[in-house]
């Protein structure tokens, strides 16, 4: 599965997903940082799953669901990277 991680998701999550056999990228590895609209457009264009900790993505008017892209709201702060991995496991 192709997965994009938002900038507010710990890098250790990327390592976990890649080791599990997924094709995963972190927003910060693709660019220095993107605005939410640009991140959403990139995710819709090239990924099947987007993982974020950003409440802005709760707004279906700005970021409507699609048949091709799922969004996971990982509500665990980056300061607990091991907990982020546990939640996804």
Give the count of alpha carbons within 13 A of 41, CB side only: 5
The DSSP H or E segment spanning 12 is: helix 11-19
Neighbours of 42 (CB within 10 A): 17
14-31 residue pLDDT tens? 999 999 999 999 999 887
45-64 residue pLDDT tens? 999 999 999 999 988 899 98
Kindly list the distances between the CA atom of residue 18 and the CA atoms of 2, 6, 55, 62, in Å, as whole numbers in the listed order. 10, 15, 25, 29
Longest dimension (CA), the chain: 35
Residue 8 clears pLDDT 80, i.e. is over it? yes
């Amino acid at each position: 599965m192709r997965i994009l991680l938002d900038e507010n998701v710990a890098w250790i999550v990327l390592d976990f997903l890649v080791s599990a056999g997924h094709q995963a990228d972190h927003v910060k590895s693709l660019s220095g940082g993107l605005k939410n609209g640009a991140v959403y457009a990139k995710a819709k264009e090239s990924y099947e799953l987007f993982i974020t900790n950003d409440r802005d993505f709760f707004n279906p008017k700005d970021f409507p669901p699609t048949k091709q892209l799922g969004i996971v709201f990982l509500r665990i702060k980056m300061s607990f990277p091991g907990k982020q991995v546990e939640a996804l496991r």
